[in-house]
Amino acid sequence: MTDLPLWLQAVHHDGSPYYLTPLFPEVGEPVRVRLRTPVKAPVEEVFLRWTPDGEQTYEPMQAVEVSGPARYWEIILEGREPVLNYHFLLKSGDGVFWYTAAGPEAYQPTDVTDFRVLSNYRSPEWLTDAVFYQIFPDTFCNGDPQINPDRLPLRYPGYEPKIFPWGASVPETLPFQDGFFGGDLIGVSEKLEYLNELGVNAVYLNPVFQAPSNHRYDVVDYFKVDPRLGGDVALASLRQDMNVFGMRYLLDVVPNHCGAQHSWFRAAQEDPDADETDFFTFIDHPDEYHSWLHFPSLPKFSYRSEKLRRIMFTDENSIFRRWLKPPYDADGWRIDVANMLGRQGEVQMNAELSRLIRRVVKETRPDAYLLGEHFFDAGPQLQGDMWDGVMNYAGFYTPFMHWLAGFSQHTWHHGKITCSVPYPTHSLEATWRTRRAAIPWALARNQLNLLSSHDTDRLRTRIGGDESLHRLAAVVQFAFPGVPCIFYGDELGVENVPKYGSRACMPWEKAEEKQALFRFYSRLTQLRRELPALQEGGFQMLHTDRDSFAFQREHPEGRILAVANRGTQKLREIAVEHGGMPDGLRLREVFSGSEAVVQQGRLTVNTARGATLWVTC
């Protein structure tokens, strides 16, 4: 591996307002592109390399400004293509180097990691200061016991639903999906004041459509909200209640598969000539068919059926349109297993269906947020023509949890792959950087960053109940580019429970007991909603060592510095000159109020096990 000159660590560009304006140009609109290099570096010339209409060209950039330790180079790029790809070439006394979204290199890179400007894409503006709160309805709050499953029984073959007192233990012999606690949408409405106090302004609801199980990913009717949650009326009422607080909400939909109790699937099994038979793929009718991960209770849809595509997507009152309209007015969709949608052996319709969903949803509600579930590399689906964002497992959560709590990789058939060696900080940095480089900056700002979800262990459980690491994780989550999402109860330190794992009943009786952690989260939500640097600022990693890292978010209206330390030794100071921070720059730590000044290119941060968050004074 070629050693690069150290000054290349100070070269920086991203899609934030400091370096690129406008972020969302019209086709043909001039775009100002800036690059930062260190004043002390032997840089002689800088060129922007791009490929208008497929032909490579190098445009010279002009040195326009010196500020402290940084020199800024600038060019006005006038392109008439919907996507502008570019990177930089630096000619120096040390040789020639290239700089892309993946960082500096001594060899000419491929175009895969180019910076990209999208002129045919618009992010939902309301995401800029959004703070999401994920709710698993059955275990969040029981607002109306009169509609509990035992009071409002819905019978499905093979399901024996049982209702338990709030937070009670569930017998180990009971199938997980059959145990209910009675949470409902009325309960969500009752707790909006609590969410508002926390600082949340957007809610992501796990499935609410009619289904036999407590998780409701086995839908039996996409056109009805489950009566045990309060039905359609409760969702419309929740919408109105949220309007009082200025809140948004996402619905969770499963277009990849349905429940085996769905009337479409029952009709297909009963009659091989029924129209609905084409909605599925039968290997040996009626009992052998394609299903999600071979679970027979979840038959997989076949979108070769034009009729199914109309019902699900394109009809005026299709499933994807209906719930975005009054009186429900959902603000977007979370797409379950978006990576698997339309994929079935030789039939690979994922890209086609993803683009169709985008067209339909944006026609119906232009500011809707399209969020895909994707645990892996979602880069191809995050280019502006499919999803706005994904639940950012691969680009944030997974490598961060490896670093924070130890390497652990789930496998479907072989348990977990674990390693006792601490996950290296440089591996965390490289994963974050390469995942971010694979997508345009405009979409990097839209990724939903989480620390727990209904499909993962609770954060508090992963870190063994360590309060310092919990706070460290929350600081990093809120400071990282993207949209933070709190999993219900994490602000109270909720841990996994037997059998239900992360889907524990919300311990409302502990809300007063856990006020310190709640206030800590409230402060983070306030900062997220107030500071332009946390909303639109760039991202540059400034420090990595065995047990700590630090990054800055840079914006014309100020910058923030997040410092994280998983170790037991205090991190005293870090170098910041390569982040363009001049000597004399004063920063204040938001939780302690202490101040520090950049001196000789370094900043005293005094960060013990946990995290500190600094803002420019």
Is residue 2 very low, low, confident or very high in pLDDT (cuts 50, 70, 90)?
low
Domains of the chain, by residue range, sit at: 6-118, 130-255+305-534, 257-300, 537-616
Catalytic residue flag (residue 373): yes
Of residues 114, 252, 373, 388, which has the active-site annotation? 373
Looking only at the bridges linking them, the beta strands covering 558-565 and 548-555 are: antiparallel
Return the structure tokens found at 135. 């709710």
Catalytic residue flag (residue 545): no
Q: pTM value?
A: 0.97
CATH of domain 6-118: 2.60.40.10
Of residues 129, 144, 336, 490, which has the active-site annotation? 336
Q: Which CATH number does the domain 537-616 belong to among 3.30.70.20, 3.20.20.140, 2.40.110.10, 2.60.40.1180?
A: 2.60.40.1180
In the DSSP assignment, the letter for residue 299 is B
- What confidence score (pLDDT) does residue 183 get? 98
DSSP states of 512-525: TTTHHHHHHHHHHH
Per-residue pLDDT at 512 exceeds 50? yes
76: left (phi over 0), alpha (psi -120 to 50) or beta: beta
3-state secondary structure 496-510: CECCCECCCCCCHHH
What is the fold of 130-255+305-534? TIM Barrel (3.20.20)
CB 617 within 8 A of CB 588: yes
**In 513-589, at which residue ranges do the beta strands (DSSP E only) sit?**
540-544, 548-555, 558-565, 571-575, 586-589
Return the structure tokens found at 383. 């280019």
3-class DSSP state of 40: coil
Residues near 363 by Cβ (< 8 Å), separated by ≥ 6?
A: none
* Residue with the two structure tokens 């006005």: 76
Return the structure tokens found at 163. 């209702």
pLDDT digits (tens, 9 = 90+) for 520-560: 999 999 999 999 999 999 999 999 999 999 999 999 999 99
> What radius of gyration do the chain's Cα atoms show?
25
Mean pLDDT of 125-145: 98
CB atoms within 10 A of CB 478: 22
- What confidence score (pLDDT) does residue 526 get? 98
pLDDT digits (tens, 9 = 90+) for 351-404: 999 999 999 999 999 999 999 999 999 999 999 999 999 999 999 999 999 999
Is residue 1 very low, low, confident or very high in pLDDT (cuts 50, 70, 90)?
very low
Domain 257-300 has CATH 1.25.40: no
Distance CA 579, CA 407 (A): 30
Domain 537-616 in the same topology as domain 6-118 = yes
Residues near 366 by Cβ (< 8 Å), separated by ≥ 6?
A: 122
Distances (CA, A) of 142 to 190, 483, 514, 519: 9, 28, 21, 25
